[in-house]
Structure 1
């Protein structure tokens, strides 16, 4: 089996449908079916059972599908090490990036790095910080940009700290917050916990949530239109200076700050492209507010 076969197994296991898997892989359905038959012939087992509602994997197929992730990572590692032997800055750098960092800081960062290292390409995955931490841990990405203090036992670098603010179109009094309409959004777990803990410390009753949306940017648009307040990281609010903002503080009057980290494995620094990128980022000065 070659790399393409392992990729077919992984994709088909995710899609559970031959037509969708073929489309995702940019190959024809007959070509995918043929490769699947060759895999079954090579191992001497039935990998999938075809039905009206898609495909189901046999126990042997399940095992091979689970192996596909490790095999693809191993093949990618071999390719990277071979390229690294040329002592050149080339290859595809895999980054896992929190959604807000990707939207507000990543484009400029990659542009500046690309200017210095034009042969290095990027594959970027964006998600919540909890998911990005997992991707770095299992080696699916070389470097992760994570917002919040997630557990990490390998190499990391603090990029910056930012405030978390109560934002509204009109001025507000903190004492009136429980009766004011609040706009909630799908925040990452650590930010959600931070806000919930702050609320419990300051108010005996729950917030008056009037609108729930999926993204911080959508919540910001609701605020601009006077539909309520939201509690957002400073980075999200930089482009709307007309909003009224009150930074969260603890009982001692200290600002509640949210850290943004760069996570990576020590062993990844053996790759020239990863070492160049990490060193480049560590020399940068980020401004979140």
Structure 2
């Protein structure tokens, strides 16, 4: 197997779908299928099997895929070490970023960092914070920007803390919330647990959710257009003074907040590119960006 074979097997392992793997590799589906057939002929084994949706690996194919993923990781580590030996801030920085941070903070951070270190490239993965936590645990990224508190025994930096609030297009009384239309959005379990715990500490009824969307930004637009209220983090709606925004509170009267962290491994600091980026972030007021 060569590097292209490693990439192909890793993409198939990630997607379990030939079409999606081909798109990731910028190949046509027939080209990828042909390369798979050559690899199967070379080893004399069947690598994948079709299932109802997509493909799955045979035991022999799984062994080859695991080898490919391991080789890609080792290749990446060698390249990083070689770049590091040049005593330059260069190479590819791999970052996991929660969705809101990716949309509202990350483009500015990357632009400012690249102005200072023009030889750096970025590989950015976005998603829910729970996914970004998994990526950093598995060493798939150098560092992750994560909303909420997740189990982590290595290094982390608190970037900012924000209140969780009710954002409404109209004035409301707290006791009226169960009867008012609420807009909800898919989020990670951490945020969902915070909101649900607060709700059922105050109300016996289920919320009147009449619109369910897939992203917090869509939810925000629904609120701005007067379709209902939402429970979300303050930074999402802070730029809209026309909305009525009230923080939700603990029984003690304190605001319920959610923290945004930068997680990273201690050994990553041995890489010039990671050390430079972390020092760069520490020198900024990220919340104000």
- Cα distance in structure 2, aligned partners of 1:128 and 1:52: 27
Query: Runs of 4 or more off by more than 6 Å in structure 1?
Result: 50-54
Mapping of 1:77-96 within 5 angstroms?
A: 77-96=77-96
Q: Which residue of 1 aligns with 2:130?
A: 130
CA distance in 2 between counterparts of 1:35 and 1:139 reads 29
Give me the CA root mean square deviation.
2.3
Q: CA deviation at 1:74?
A: 1.7
Q: Which residue of 1 aligns with 2:248?
A: 248
What residue ranges of structure 2 are gaps of 5+ in the alignment? none
| 1:188-267 aligned within 5 A | 188-267=188-267
* 3-state DSSP of counterpart to 1:287: helix
Partners of 1:54 and 1:110 in 2: how far apart? 35
Specify the alignment match of 1:68 in structure 2: 68
When residues 55 and 182 of structure 1 are mapped into structure 2, their CA distance, relative to the original with a 3 A threshold, is closer
> Any idea what SS the aligned residue of 2:287 has?
coil
Q: Partners of 1:142 and 1:58 in 2: how far apart?
A: 31
Distance 1:8 1:43 in 2: 16
| Cα deviation code 1:145-194 (max 9, x no counterpart) | 00000111111111110011101111111111111111111122111111
Task: Give 1:108 shift.
Answer: 1.2
- Cα distance 1:37–1:219, how it changes in 2: closer, same or farther (>3 A)? closer
Contact 1:91 1:121 in 2 (8 A): yes
Q: Counterparts of 2:202 and 2:29 in 1: how far apart (Å)?
A: 59
Equivalents in 1 of 2:238, 2:49: separation in Å? 53
Residues 27 and 196 (structure 1 numbering): CA distance in 2 closer, same or farther, change over 3 Å?
closer
1:97 aligns with 2:80: no
1:81 aligned counterpart, secondary structure: helix
TM-score, normalized by length of structure 2? Answer: 0.92
Distance, in Å, in 1 between the alignment partners of 2:56 and 2:219 is 41
Please, what TM-score do these two structures have when normalized by structure 1?
0.92
Assess, with a 3 A threshold, how the Cα gap between structure 1 residues 247 and 17 changes in structure 2: closer, same or farther.
closer
Q: Offset at 1:33?
A: 4.6
In the aligned structure 2, how far is the partner of 1:224 from the partner of 1:237? Answer: 9
Partner of 1:40: 40
1:139 aligns with 2:142: no
